[in-house]
């Protein structure tokens, strides 16, 4: 009898739990058995509008003033989100099209050089053709920053030589 009790002792170790290290809480992007999709994070119910969302949307409709800081931000965001397909200079020769993705149109085409800024904003937000929308990934303010940088790219590819007086010395 006593021997049997000793053999059962290791079972007591099972009761030792790391309650501090693994607390009974839902972690960010963790799992939960409460909902059928198994995720702890919830999406807002369909048709709901977040507080302040309409005001933010209205504020995002007007492009901000173009400053060097905005262009720098745009350059950084363009490098993260756009360059993989549109290429570093915006001609559509990014690494992803090189690997087989349909090649996007060049920003330096006549059509896109003439396209107004809100058109670019709409395309970034909603997507276009095989391009997915970036509404969830690029904040409205960053979309304007990216558009400002696209304008800089367009200018850089078609600026008259007279606009950059120092450039002639560097030309071959």
Partner 1 sequence: MQGDPDDLRSPRDSVHAQLFPRWSTLVARLALFALVLVPLGLLGMLMALQYTPYVTGQGITPDQPVPFSHEHHVGGLGIECRYCHGGVETSRFAGLPPTHTCMTCHSQLWTNAGMLAPVRQSLAEDRPIRWRRVNALPDYVYFDHSVHVRNGVGCTSCHGPVDSMPLMRQAAPLTMGWCLDCHRDPAPHLRPEAEIYAGHWMPPADQAARGAALLRHYGIRTAHLTDCSVCHR
Q: What is the rounded CA–CA span in Å between residue 110 and residue 49?
A: 39
Closest CA to 71 of 151, 148, 9, 1: 148
Min CB(165)–partner 1 separation in Å = 29
Q: Tell which positions 113-172 bind partner 1, by CB under 8 A.
A: 130, 132, 136-137
Min CB(71)–partner 1 separation in Å = 15
Min CB(83)–partner 1 separation in Å = 8
Q: Which is nearer to partner 1, 23 or 62 (CB)?
A: 23
DSSP 16-65: ---TTTS-SSPPTT-B-SSSTT-BSS-PPPTT---TTHHHHHHHHTSPPP
Report angle CA 127, 133, 136 to the nearest 5 degrees: 160
Site mask, partner 1, residues 38-77, x = CB under 8 A? xx--------------------------------------
**Do 108 and 129 meet the contact criterion of CB atoms below 8 Å apart?**
no
The rounded Cα 50 to chain-centroid distance in angstroms is 20
Q: Which is nearer to partner 1, 3 or 25 (CB)?
A: 25
Kindly compute the dihedral angle of the four CA atoms of residues 101, 105, 106, 111, in this order, to the nearest 10 degrees.
-170
Site mask, partner 1, residues 10-39, x = CB under 8 A? --------x-xxxx-x-xxx-x-----xxx
- Residues 71, 75, 101, 157: which binds partner 1 (CB under 8 A)? 101
Q: Is 81 in the site for partner 1 (CB under 8 A)?
A: yes
81 φ, ψ (degrees, to nearest 5):
-100, -25
Q: Which is nearer to partner 1, 63 or 88 (CB)?
A: 88
Q: With contacts defined by CB under 8 A, how many residues of the chain interact with partner 1? A: 27
Q: What is the rounded CA–CA span in Å between residue 110 and residue 9?
A: 81
Q: Interface with partner 1 by CB under 8 A: which residues?
A: 18, 20-23, 25, 27-29, 31, 37-39, 79-81, 84, 95-96, 99-102, 130, 132, 136-137
């Amino acid at each position: 009898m006593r021997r049997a009790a000793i053999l059962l002792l290791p079972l007591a170790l099972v009761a030792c739990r790391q309650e501090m290290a693994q607390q009974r809480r839902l972690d960010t992007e963790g799992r939960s058995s409460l909902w059928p999709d198994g995720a702890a994070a919830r999406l807002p119910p369909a048709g709901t509008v977040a507080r302040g969302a309409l005001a933010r949307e209205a504020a995002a409709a007007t492009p901000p003033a173009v400053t060097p800081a905005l262009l720098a931000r745009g350059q950084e965001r363009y490098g993260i989100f756009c360059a993989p397909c549109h290429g570093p200079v915006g001609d559509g020769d990014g690494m992803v099209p090189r690997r087989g993705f349909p090649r996007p149109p060049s920003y330096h085409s006549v059509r896109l050089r003439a396209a107004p800024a809100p058109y670019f904003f709409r395309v970034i937000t909603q997507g276009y053709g095989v391009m997915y929308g970036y509404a969830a990934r690029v904040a409205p303010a960053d979309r304007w920053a990216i558009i400002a940088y696209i304008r800089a790219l367009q200018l850089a590819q078609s600026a008259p030589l007279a606009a950059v007086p120092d450039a002639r010395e560097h030309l071959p």
